[in-house]
């Protein structure tokens, strides 16, 4: 039996060998709409997921499925292009394997990004929002056993303040992870709002829980790619998600670069 921790250590060893970088400092998970934001960083190494223990090729359009080691300022940064989603049915351990691998590779900080639906009508498609807290609506957890990890400050106040120095116009919001893959009904969006959500999506929360358990300092950023269901009267399409990301790429690239340099 290989434990989740052993598999993460094997993947971290493969990353060190394939990249020639023994220790990485920060990991970034690039969600829907965020991929182009990271294209400007000079690449040290590119590793397809298929060549790394415990990873598998990505299934979703707009998630390309590889890991890059890039240099930003004086830091070695792991860029995950594409993530395993809970709705793929590969289990929660597969969902958080990248996060555990980042910790095993030496990272002390993690940037989790996603594309999501927004409940605040002021957030037009293409608006980035800092995640300040979350609601786990998946009815599951990546943690097994008596791991009573404290979630009082999952999304680091320090890192949010740092992001705000890069872009003082950023708003903050509570992100709710639904299991997916279906989008919400309008009634579910109203429910999420009553529960305290500002953002609805299908990722990030399970990864943040595993990351917190692994001792990582976390920055969460959502790109609002669409108004949540029922807010506009329009139907939701994955196409608009991809378009919002393309349109926001240069702003997100500057934001990500500024944040990574300041970390
Ligand atoms: I991009 O409106 C994107 N991902 N659950 N709801 C949920 N996930 C999303 C949405 C959305 N938009």
Task: Give the chain's domain count.
Answer: 1
Model confidence over 152-162: pLDDT tens digits?
999 999 999 99
The closest residue, in CA terms, to atom 11 on ligand 1 is 117
Domain CATH code at residue 129? 3.40.50.1580
For 193-221, the pLDDT digits (tens) are 999 999 999 999 999 999 999 999 999 99
86 lines ligand 1 (CB under 6 A): no
Give residue 10's domain range: 4-262
Ligand 1 in contact with 228 (CB < 6 A)?
yes
The mean of the pLDDT values for the chain is 93
Ligand 1 centroid to 30 CA: how many Å? 15
Residue 63: pLDDT above 70?
A: no
At 64, is the pLDDT very low, low, confident or very high (cuts 50, 70, 90)? low
pLDDT at 247 over 90: no
Compute the distance between CA of residue 4 and CA of residue 210 in angstroms, rounded to an integer: 11
Ligand 1 center to 29 CA (angstroms) = 17
1, pLDDT greater than 60 = no
Q: What is the SS3 assignment for 92?
A: helix
CA dihedral for 100, 137, 231, 89, sign (positive or negative): positive
- Ligand 1 pocket member 173 (CB < 6 A): no
Mean pLDDT value across residues 171-191:
97
d(Cα 260, Cα 41) in Å, to the nearest integer?
11
pLDDT confidence of residue 155: 98
Burial string for 105-121 (b: 16+ CB within 10 Å, else e) reads bbbebbbbbbbbbbbbe
184 part of the active site: yes
Whether pTM exceeds 0.85: yes
Angle at 94 between CA 85 and CA 96, to 5 degrees: 80
């Amino acid at each position: 039996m290989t434990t989740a921790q052993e598999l993460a250590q094997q993947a971290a060893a493969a990353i060190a060998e394939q990249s020639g970088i023994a220790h990485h400092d920060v990991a970034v998970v690039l969600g829907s709409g965020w991929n182009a934001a990271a294209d400007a960083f000079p690449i040290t190494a590119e590793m397809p997921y298929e060549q790394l223990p415990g990873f598998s090729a990505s299934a979703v359009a707009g998630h390309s499925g590889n890991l890059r080691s890039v240099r930003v300022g004086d830091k070695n940064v792991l860029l995950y292009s594409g993530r395993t989603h809970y709705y793929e049915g590969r289990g929660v351990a597969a969902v958080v394997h990248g996060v555990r691998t980042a910790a095993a590779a030496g990272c002390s900080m993690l940037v989790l990004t996603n594309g999501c639906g927004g409940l605040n009508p002021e957030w037009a498609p293409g608006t980035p929002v800092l995640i300040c807290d979350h609601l786990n609506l998946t009815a599951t957890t990546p943690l097994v056993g008596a791991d009573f990890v404290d979630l009082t400050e999952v999304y680091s106040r320090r890192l949010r303040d740092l992001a705000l120095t890069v872009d003082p116009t950023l708003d903050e919001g509570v992100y709710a992870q639904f299991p997916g893959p279906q989008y919400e009904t309008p009634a579910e969006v109203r429910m999420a709002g009553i529960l305290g959500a500002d953002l609805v999506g299908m990722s990030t929360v399970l990864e943040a829980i595993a990351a917190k358990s692994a001792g990582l300092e976390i920055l969460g950023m959502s790109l609002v790619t669409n108004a949540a269901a029922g807010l506009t009267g329009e139907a939701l399409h994955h196409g608009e998600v991809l378009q919002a990301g393309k349109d926001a790429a240069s702003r997100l690239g500057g934001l990500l670069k500024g944040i990574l340099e300041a970390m």
